[in-house]
């Protein structure tokens, strides 16, 4: 296929912690994968992350493009807002 860089032009994996095999679960499992895919295909904007919500009311988290992982910025305070997290290489 041309290696990692070439493959990244058309493939991305976003792991969803706490999601059950076919959907649902106890964590932030609601996100707009189709909207992100549509923007990628039609506008060329490949997503670096997706914002997920659900589980605990009013809680959001980023879903990072694999192999990146979510890292919390402890200087921000509360843990309920996706903006307090970044995607970083493990």
Gyration radius of the chain over CA positions: 14
Q: What does pTM read for this prediction?
A: 0.84
Model confidence pLDDT, tens digit, residues 45-85: 999 999 999 876 678 999 999 999 999 998 887 888 999 99
The torsion angles phi and psi of 34, rounded to 5 degrees, stand at: -65, -40
State the burial class of residue 77 (Cβ atoms within 10 Å of its Cβ: 0-12, 13-18, 19+).
Answer: exposed
Model confidence pLDDT, tens digit, residues 1-48: 578 889 888 999 999 887 887 777 778 888 999 999 999 999 999 999
The domain spans of the chain are 3-88
């Amino acid at each position: 296929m041309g290696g990692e860089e070439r493959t990244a032009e058309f493939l991305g994996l976003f792991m969803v912690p706490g999601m059950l095999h076919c959907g649902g679960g106890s964590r932030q499992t609601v996100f707009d994968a189709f909207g992100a895919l549509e923007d990628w295909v039609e506008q060329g904007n490949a997503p670096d992350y997706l914002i997920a919500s659900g589980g605990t009311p009013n809680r959001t988290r980023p879903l990072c493009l694999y192999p990146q992982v979510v890292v919390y910025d402890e200087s921000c305070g509360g843990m309920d807002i996706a903006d307090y997290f970044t995607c970083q290489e493990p």
